[in-house]
Structure 1
């Protein structure tokens, strides 16, 4: 850590709840001229972080939605801290240099391209790379996007993503450096604005990543991170589903169209999405229903939207919808119509 960034002046590291759990760093941050915060009120107003690539989320559990993120832009890199929600994330990262992602606590757990990622694992993306991510729980993660990483000697080829495991103390040092930088820029912007401080902060983050990379090695699982056959199948499945909106899809027909057995397609979805093909397809259909209902058109009825998305048992459909979103489909539609001035 560089001079002037003293951790004892930055309270997030030692802040704990009465039961000993660490308070979320995001809850400690405030907006400043350097730190921008986003706390969407609900799942329907959630937007992905700008500047990291193209993202599409499908919620797994939206009842206790509490997502938020903070962004700190430095001279040649940007720091993003995010509290996520249970979801499937289809992410195409894009950077001129590299994106380094890591968990901000040891409780974080997610699956990236079919491989479980836990601390002290780091995600390293160079150039453009697509990642299929499953989060069964809310996580707190940090992503640092470096515009250039020339001559730093970090592993990995261009246009690739890989998981690498560093030493626990190097991961913790990286977390601390990023946390300190966010707290300083948030609570002491006048210090952050002093000459050369931003450059010092950026160099501290780079050095912390350098040390983590030097101690890291690709995991055996990460060598098969691409799982290319299964990834390709799931992406073809998603394209097929997107092109078949409003049509009834049967697993045997879908598998036949993709040129594989139902079992192979099921295994691919389990590996990449972390759930059965049946549950995944149902989840997608429920999310499609929600997106249609929040538009609030008077020409729609809940039953019509449900039927168009393959739900014929209204009682079961309502129960599934309430379990996922914490409200009934009629409540969603009524709220949307109130906002648009349509009669509910």
Structure 2
């Protein structure tokens, strides 16, 4: 869905500007001066979505030159292209290039036509995940088109959900899991396979760490499985926990935790409680994208969640 089609909701703020005089820069990644490249009227659409520890601003821009300092006063910032081509500090930046910004960095950007992109700022520094561990400055990451497409789809799904949602309380309950989906998408495009570099003899150590993780999950409950908090409780970096799960289980940390939450949904459905719905069971375990949930559930268990619930009720 193009950003200009998004509509405001109790969750999503939508701004539109029809002239350069009306346009107000958004300082999610610092203040930067814009100069239009053409004299004709501009059209800018911008949607703002707040999650527990990050602010997302999706924008369709206009032909312009931007000069100044990009950066986040705290945490780390990203620019994720949706439909994008520009030059930044003399380098070509296209649809498969993500910019990661830490601290303040000078930027001279030329957009020769309207672009659509996401500006994102995390409140935490996101260090020790394997992709934002550098010092101050701007790092450009060029990604495989398939991985970029998957990340874009997840981002657009988040904004569409926020645009359609009218229940603020429901969104607040799911917002942490929506943010975790975003982090999972960034991990998938940035984090390299570290199992190949694992030290000889590390499998037993990784196996014990995964056992501790599974014990913690069993106590914590599947609804609140966030990678950063789990790693902190276990006293390791997220990157170490990612490597251990990949080494022992052959899947990513996010996939491993999702399977735990999926099993929790199934346990609810097989009980067949009279007032239970599939949506309620999914939401209770942090699944917010219902079509993706149904697809993954069917792949895991060979039937749709509605079929599990109907069989449990004897239908």
TM-score if structure 1 supplies the norm length? 0.53
Aligned equivalent of 1:213: 190
Inter-CA distance 192–85: structure 2 relative to 1 (3 Å threshold) = farther
Q: Which residue of 1 aligns with 2:60?
A: 83
Match of 1:200 in 2: 177
1: distance between equivalents of 2:11 and 2:27? Answer: 16
8 Å contact kept, 1:129–1:161: yes
Question: Which sections of structure 1, spanning at least 5 residues, go unmatched?
Answer: 1-11, 13-24, 217-344
Structure 1 consecutive aligned stretches of length 4 or more whose deviation exceeds 3 Å: none
1:178 maps to: 155
Displacement after TM superposition at 1:80 (Å): 0.8
User: Does the 8 Å CA contact 1:88/1:133 hold for their aligned counterparts?
Assistant: yes
> Which one of the candidate residues 65, 70, 76 is aligned to 2:42?
65
Report the Cα offset of residue 214 of structure 1. Answer: 2.1
Q: For 2:187 and 2:100, locate their aligned partners in 1 and report how far apart those are by CA, in whole Å.
A: 12
Among 74, 82, 97, the alignment partner of 1:104 is 82
Q: Give the 3-state SS of the residue equivalent to 1:175 in structure 2.
A: helix
Map 1:102-141 to 2 at 5 A: 102-105=80-83, 108-141=84-117
Match of 1:53 among 9, 15, 30: 30
Point out where structure 2 has 5 or more consecutive residues left out of the alignment: 194-315
* Shift in CA distance, 198/115, structure 1 to aligned 2, threshold 3 Å: same
| Contact 2:17 2:42 survives alignment (8 Å) | no
8 A contact 1:99–1:126 mirrored in 2: yes
Distance 1:58 1:192 in 2: 41
What is the aligned counterpart of 1:94 among 25, 47, 71? 71
CA distance in structure 2 between the partners assigned to 1:90 and 1:137 by the alignment: 17
| Counterpart-to-counterpart distance in 2, 1:126 and 1:50 | 15
Does the Cα contact within 8 Å between 1:72 and 1:80 map onto a contact in 2? yes
| 2:4–2:60 CA contact under 8 A, matched in 1 | no
Distance 1:78 1:171 in 2: 20
Q: Could you tell me how far apart the structure 2 residues matched to 1:82 and 1:193 are?
A: 26
Deviation, structure 1 residue 159: 1.7
After TM superposition, the score normalised by the length of structure 2 is: 0.57
Q: CA deviation digits over 1:255-291, x for unaligned, max 9? A: xxxxxxxxxxxxxxxxxxxxxxxxxxxxxxxxxxxxx
Task: Give the equivalent residue in structure 1 for 2:16.
Answer: 39
Considering only aligned residues, what root-mean-square deviation do their CA atoms show, in Å?
A: 1.9
Contact 1:43 1:62 (C-alpha < 8 Å) held by counterparts: no
By how many angstroms is 1:27 displaced? 2.1
Deviation readout 1:114-159 (Å, 9 max, x if unpaired): 0000121111111222211001111111111111113212146222
Deviation digits for residues 287-318 of structure 1 (CA, Å, limit 9, x no counterpart): xxxxxxxxxxxxxxxxxxxxxxxxxxxxxxxx
Cα distance in 1 for residues equivalent to 2:13 and 2:132 = 31
**TM-fit CA distance, 1:191:** 7.3
Number of equivalent positions? 191
